[in-house]
Every structure is written in structure tokens, then in C-alpha cells.
Amino acid sequence: MSAKKGLHLTLKIWRQKNNKSKGQFETYKISDVSTDSSFLEMLDILNENLINEGKEPVAFDHDCREGICGMCSLYINGRAHGPDTGITTCQLHMRMFKDGETIVIEPWRSAAFPVIKDLMVDRSAFDRVMAAGGFVSVNTSGNTLDANAIPVPKDDADKAMDAAACIGCGACVATCKNGSAMLFVGAKVSQFALLPQGRVEGKRRVLNMVKAMDEEGFGNCSNTGACEVECPKGISLENIARMNREYMAALVDKG
């Protein structure tokens, strides 16, 4: 039985030394890529070839390679995380591509996510937005209730868990024509706003997070829904609506 034939591909990859430098696409050929390999494994092979040729490897972000950390942020053939749905780039396999295909690989395109190098972007704006929201503080004097003693409707608990599934990959921002982070911020607001433990500081949290989001330079939502479609965790647009309701209520209460 003959061995399975690998893919022969042309890769057009964005190369950029740093945020201050002008970037450009560079073309690479790669051969005999197994259809069973992941997209990141294909990039590993490319980098090994480049190193062997005495060339600088392509910088790209990755960590867990299990669809959890959200670091593998790549725009592939015009789609965040590539041609499959409900996955991160590390979960994308080469069987989704055809032999002889040209694959265009870019970093996230957003003013709030400046390029660090090549395909790596700085997503620390997300960290600053979350930090602005603070945390759930409790009285630790010994009079606190066990969390399991606080009744939470199952529907609310389910929605909070769905919102908390956001991994902060930034696909929503990269996909949105306005570079909006409202799906991300909506998810982070919702995971607390739906639970009684998060209600105490809810108004302060939503006001601070929305303010931080605007200061970071993210655009506004125009309800096209592209963010939900390309989100690898399927975060619902309902979270944006909930964030807007929380925000308006906080503004009214603030006076």
C-alpha cells in the first residue's frame, strides 16, 4: 500500500519586525504536509525549514494547543482562526486545505492589538479591561455564607458559565469591521452580573470596564453579528445586550 501523499502549499505570511516597522507579505513553499497535522504543527515545520536554511523563523503565538488559552490568534484566508467553525487555530487541521492551495496568514488587525512581531500581537488591552472590572470582594470576618448555600436559578447559572467560557482570544475584535470588543466585555460583565455574588459591585464593574474598553481604542458595536459567528466558544450576542442594560442602569443610578 502506498504512503499517503502530503500537501504541497504556498504560504503568504505577514512579516513585520516590530510595531514601528513596515510589514509585508512574504511567500514560502512547503511540501509533504500531513493532512493529520494541525495548522500550528505546519508552521512548526516551516520554521524548522527556515532555521535549517539560516533564515529567521516566523514568530507566532501559542501555548496550550488545546483550544483553551486563546493565544493562537491568526487570520487565515480572511477568517479568524481559519476556515473551520467553533475552533481555535491550534484545533484547525490541514485536512481543511487542498493540495496546491495558497494560504494567506495574517495577525489580528486592530489598532488596540498592536503587532509585536510577525503574527504576534499585543492583547494586553484585554487584561487592562478585566483589571478595571476588579474582582468580587467579600467580608472575610467569619460571617460569610458558603457559596453553595446561595440559591441560583439554573438558567442564570448556565448563562453565566456560557459567558465565562470566553477565552479572550480576540477573534471577535479581529472579525468586527469596527474592531469592537463588546462581545468580550459583554461576556466578562455577564459572568458576574448573572450571579448574586457579582451583583454587589455590578454597577461599578460595568462602568469601569466600558470606560476602559473605550480608552483602549476599541470600536463600537454595529450589530452585524460577525463576532458571534467567528467566536470559537460561541459566545452569544445576548451578552452585549446584557452589558448595555447593566451599563444604562448603572448610569441612571449614578445620576
Separation between Cα atoms, residue 155 and residue 157, nearest integer Å: 5
Q: For the chain, what are the domain ranges?
A: 7-116, 123-252
Listed in sequence order, the residues at least 6 apart from 204 whose beta carbon sits closer than 8 Å to its beta carbon are: 134, 250
Domain 7-116 homologous superfamily, CATH: Beta-grasp domain (3.10.20.30)
pTM score: 0.92
Q: State which CATH number among 3.40.50.300, 3.90.600.10, 1.10.1060.10, 2.40.160.60 fits the domain covering 123-252.
A: 1.10.1060.10
The model's pLDDT over 30-44, given as tens digits with 9 standing for 90+, comes to 999 999 999 999 999
Q: Which DSSP letter does residue 206 get? A: H
Cα dihedral sign for 116, 114, 162, 86? negative
Residue in this structure with the C-alpha cell 454595529, named with its chain if needed: 222
Average pLDDT on 129-149 reads 76
The model's pLDDT over 70-127, given as tens digits with 9 standing for 90+, comes to 999 999 999 999 999 999 999 999 999 999 999 999 999 999 999 999 999 999 999 9
**Is-same-fold flag (7-116; 123-252)?**
no
